[in-house]
Structure 1
Amino acid sequence: MAGEEPKNVFDAEAASSLARELRGTFLSGKTRSYEWRVSQLKALLKLVDDNEQEIVDALRSDLSKPPMESVVCEIGLLKNSCKVSLRELKHWMKPEKVKTSITTFPSSAEIVPEPLGVALVISAWNYPILLSLDPVVGAIAAGNAVVLKPSEISPATSSLLAKLLGKYMDNSCVRVVEGAADETTALLQQKWDKIFYTGNARIGRTVMTAAAKHLTPVVLELGGKSPAVVDSNINIKVASRRIIAGKWGCNNGQACISPDYIITTKDYAPKLVDALKTELETFYGKNPLESKDLSRIVNSNHFGRLTKLLDEDKVSGKIVYGGERDESKLMIAPTILLDVPRNSLIMNEEIFGPLLPIITVDKLEESFDVINSGTKPLAAYLFTNNKKLKEQFAKGISAGGLVVNDTTLHLAVHTLPFGGVGESGIGAYHGKFSFDAFTHKKAVLYRSFHGDAAVRYPPYSYMKLRLMKALIGGSINGIIRALFG
């Protein structure tokens, strides 16, 4: 229409220009100083402090996320990430002195952490503040320039991030690109020094394929079917409350580390179902569709996907609690299903929603085979007081992270790496691990002009060969024998 301003098009040319601009800034050395890194981390902390209510409102708009969840699970964790980085950064940046060997005597050596360069962060919609800015904290702390691509599925938060980062951060080094598939594709065509992607395995493969063209290293934070194994030797009330907190208290199940399904014994399953019902009603009332403490399903596509899982013939008769839905509100009530067939859709796709199937086994040890027969999950949970079972679980289950007698809380421990394994992801972050994710550890060896040994130079001889073998072996006695026979 006449009079309308043309929209800015972000295509491959614009992406290339942006990447060149940020690379130029990085090569100037601006981002490398301790002072610049601290200034940007403080600016990010101020951004969150100054705009907490606006952030809560955006999350409410995108996901109907309860303010409590927004403050604790997004804002609080992000602020803690900034504070940990500010407190530890000087230590993280210091070169690490390491030992040398007799082969290089006299010498000294160190490992020097250096920024990779220009990073691309592609974030997810379910925790759109935390999953956007927590990797950015690591990229900045490590001294990189960074481009953030928020998810278009959470548009209010994406728009807010673009506005606030443009206002608070150094725009010569930190930029936001909004948009959808076309903009992401344009960005992925460029050469980056690190790509950090949070999302599903299907797009993760696309990201990794694009990165391979430039030999760009990646961190892929994906998902998977995270199991919760429940023993009978537990405090059932506490266990039920913690399962509910990890499942429905995390974005109504729309979280990569929410318990995806439960494994328990046939004998114990009815008791567990009753306990979960009781606590769910305590938390969300008799009509959970009216609860203000549950997030909605993010959009109609995901609502349709979840109802398809729920309405499959193999599954529809297995609902023992919940199942109510309201498409106009994009709400699905917390739903428990018992003895779901293992060949059903719900047991072969990541659920990412408020549906919790329970499968039963004769002996709890059989649960290990069930878990290990599938792809490696991002998280795995065990509820038990049995010491031997805890040890077997820790040794026998391969997952991104394990938690015993709770769910999801390992996410909040900054001294633990958070990441996947196999199908659930590549690489890790949080705390020092975020700094490391965007850092190259450069080996540096220092020598003087003293101690120059003729043995390393031609002409070679049998005696030199014997001595070099002894030097490589690092044996003082061997060196003496080589020299004196």
Structure 2
Amino acid sequence: MDGQVAARMDETAVGIADPAARISVLLAAQKAAWSTDVTPSHAVRDGRLDRLDRMVVAWESRFAAAISEDFGNRPAVVTTLTDIVPVRAAIRHARRELKRWMRPRRVSLAWTGKPASAQILRQPLGVVGIVAPWNYPLNLMLSPLVGALAAGNRALLKPSELTPAFSEVLAKAVAETFAEDEVAVVTGGPEVATAFTAAPFDHLIFTGSTAVGRKVAEAAARNLTPVTLELGGKSPVILDPSVDLGKAVPRLVWGKLLNSGQTCVAPDYALVPRGRVPDFLAAVKAEVAEQYPGLPGNADYTTIISPRHFDRLVRLVEEARERDAEVVELAGPHDPERRVFSPVAVVGAPDDTGVMAEEIFGPILPVVPYDTLDEAIAYINLRDRPLALYWFGSDKAAEARVLSGTIAGGVTINDTILHLSQDDLPFGGVGASGYGAYHGEAGFLALSKEKPVLRQSVLSGVSLLYPPYGRLATWMLKLLGRLG
């Protein structure tokens, strides 16, 4: 461990058994440290980002091994692609743009304010709490942290209890990289998460389910803590009649089965022109065999995170089957012992079944036949606003109708998920899929206070409006009313 970092470690929280007490001690230490350097310099912020990047590189193999242990099997290449690479890209982007983001912004004034001058200063909020889920445990923890550190904040991190091996490795990595009054990790189960979200942070970022997100927002509201909620929902795919299935299906299957569908922006259901459903299903089945041959024994296929989640997926399919939906096996059988859930498609499930009412978070693809584009758009708009929306086709007029006629957290055209990988595109939900955004400058701004500052000139004429009020004040007010 770096000697200077070790010297700054706050030992007061060590050995405290009560989660709320430990969180309170850590939070107080970080707030006290923040108060000694309210607006850190570019050098300080860049140094923290550099340390974070070096930590990710040094611990990469241990992170991948721990995540795979938590899942049962998660290929290292998946972790590198979805966790390591995006985080390092976000760090590089932030370091490259940081001086510009930090620069005070001059603001023009109305003539009534002149000859004063004005600017907006961007300052850190203080201490940011970050709660990350289990599905992409490194990315969804460290990507928000990049924004927090770039904005000059300190941070407490709470990883998911469903990834205990990763949580332990992350805690060790952070402790060897940062002082506790800069960045610290708090581990534990639901009781720790409850205490964490109830703490008086200066900002809280939560990524997880809509149901839990509501509880987090309620807890944070007691402290008037602003919250960024990155939730989930049922992200639709529209295949336009103009679609080339040969190009669209491989991209859809990749996005759906990445991490075995355990992705908040995974395609949740597909709206397919009614007459093309058989061709679509045949193409999907062939593509599954191409990308993941030999299921359930394919080592490239991620297993389901826990027996409870595996059983939930089984129940979703069985309920749909019992309600007369067509269940199409897209690969080999499931392997419950290893929690390998082979992909299936479900056609014609009633709207009140689980596969159509809940976020699936697994390799089940409901298919909804439609007759007109207006019908497809209406189907989406009758439901909660999704975190992501995907459209495949070549008809530009239809594409424009979908973009203007629907609301979603983010959109990728003729592919899936990739909007999430661009740091200049804000990542966030809308409605039931969350609110607020991060990534790039959006994350920097979300975790900054834009402080307006007006500097008055010695030549100010405001004194003409001081009491006692007379004819001059009346004349001035009439002039302001006409010209202001």
* Paired AA for residue 19 in structure 1: L
CA contact (8 A) 1:318 1:338 kept: yes
Matched, 1:301 2:308: yes
Q: Which residue of 1 aligns with 2:358?
A: 349
The structural deviation recorded for 1:235 is: 2.0
Which of 18, 25, 41 does residue 33 from structure 1 map onto? 41
Which of 252, 273, 278 does residue 270 from structure 1 map onto? 278
Deviations 1:311-346 (CA, angstroms, capped at 9, x unpaired): 114457511223732211111001111222222221
SS of corresponding position for 2:50: helix
CA contact (8 A) 2:273 2:369 kept: yes
CA distance in 2, matches of 1:342, 1:66: 35
CA contact (8 A) 1:264 1:364 kept: no
CA distance in 2, matches of 1:36, 1:317: 58
The structural deviation recorded for 1:468 is: 2.1
Q: Which residue of 1 aligns with 2:5?
A: none
* Paired AA for residue 17 in structure 2: V
CA distance in 2, matches of 1:219, 1:293: 33
CA distance in 2, matches of 1:429, 1:114: 16
Q: Which residue of 2 aligns with 1:387?
A: 396
CA distance in 2, matches of 1:401, 1:469: 48
- Structure 1 residue ranges without an equivalent (≥5): 1-5, 476-485
The structural deviation recorded for 1:131 is: 0.3
Which of 246, 266, 281 does residue 258 from structure 1 map onto? 266
The structural deviation recorded for 1:353 is: 0.5
CA distance in 2, matches of 1:255, 1:270: 26
* Paired AA for residue 292 in structure 1: A
CA contact (8 A) 1:310 1:316 kept: no
Which of 18, 22, 32 does residue 30 from structure 2 map onto? 22
CA distance in 2, matches of 1:301, 1:391: 41
CA contact (8 A) 2:38 2:126 kept: no
SS of corresponding position for 2:359: coil
The structural deviation recorded for 1:454 is: 3.8
Deviations 1:416-435 (CA, angstroms, capped at 9, x unpaired): 11100000001001111111
CA contact (8 A) 1:101 1:474 kept: no
The structural deviation recorded for 1:469 is: 4.0
Which of 224, 229, 236 does residue 220 from structure 1 map onto? 229
Matched, 1:416 2:428: no
CA distance in 1, matches of 2:216, 2:476: 50
Q: Which residue of 2 aligns with 1:70?
A: 79
CA distance in 1, matches of 2:37, 2:451: 17
TM-score, normalised with respect to structure 2: 0.94
Compared with structure 1, are the counterparts of its residues 141 and 345 closer, same or farther at alpha carbon in structure 2 (3 Å cutoff)? Answer: same
Which of 105, 118, 130 does residue 114 from structure 2 map onto? 105
Compared with structure 1, are the counterparts of its residues 371 and 137 closer, same or farther at alpha carbon in structure 2 (3 Å cutoff)? Answer: same
Q: Which residue of 1 aligns with 2:102?
A: 93
CA contact (8 A) 1:381 1:405 kept: yes
The structural deviation recorded for 1:134 is: 0.6
Q: Which residue of 1 aligns with 2:384?
A: 375
CA contact (8 A) 1:221 1:419 kept: yes
* Paired AA for residue 456 in structure 2: R
CA contact (8 A) 1:30 1:36 kept: no
CA distance in 1, matches of 2:79, 2:394: 32
Compared with structure 1, are the counterparts of its residues 28 and 253 closer, same or farther at alpha carbon in structure 2 (3 Å cutoff)? Answer: same
Q: Which residue of 2 aligns with 1:232?
A: 241
CA contact (8 A) 1:31 1:173 kept: no
Matched, 1:319 2:327: yes
SS of corresponding position for 2:373: coil
SS of corresponding position for 1:290: coil
CA distance in 1, matches of 2:80, 2:248: 24
Compared with structure 1, are the counterparts of its residues 303 and 98 closer, same or farther at alpha carbon in structure 2 (3 Å cutoff)? Answer: same
CA contact (8 A) 2:83 2:138 kept: yes
* Paired AA for residue 441 in structure 1: E
Which of 217, 224, 229 does residue 208 from structure 1 map onto? 217
How big is the alpha-carbon RMSD for the aligned residues of Structure 1 and Structure 2? Answer: 1.6
CA distance in 1, matches of 2:428, 2:110: 35
SS of corresponding position for 2:461: coil
CA contact (8 A) 1:455 1:468 kept: no
Matched, 1:127 2:132: no
Matched, 1:449 2:458: yes
CA distance in 1, matches of 2:403, 2:182: 42
Deviations 1:37-57 (CA, angstroms, capped at 9, x unpaired): 111100010011112211221
The structural deviation recorded for 1:69 is: 1.4
SS of corresponding position for 1:325: coil
CA distance in 2, matches of 1:473, 1:246: 58
Bigger drift between 459-468 and 76-85 goes to: 459-468
- Structure 2 residue ranges without an equivalent (≥5): 1-13
Compared with structure 1, are the counterparts of its residues 315 and 34 closer, same or farther at alpha carbon in structure 2 (3 Å cutoff)? Answer: farther
Deviations 1:232-255 (CA, angstroms, capped at 9, x unpaired): 312211100000111002x11000
Q: Which residue of 2 aligns with 1:3?
A: none
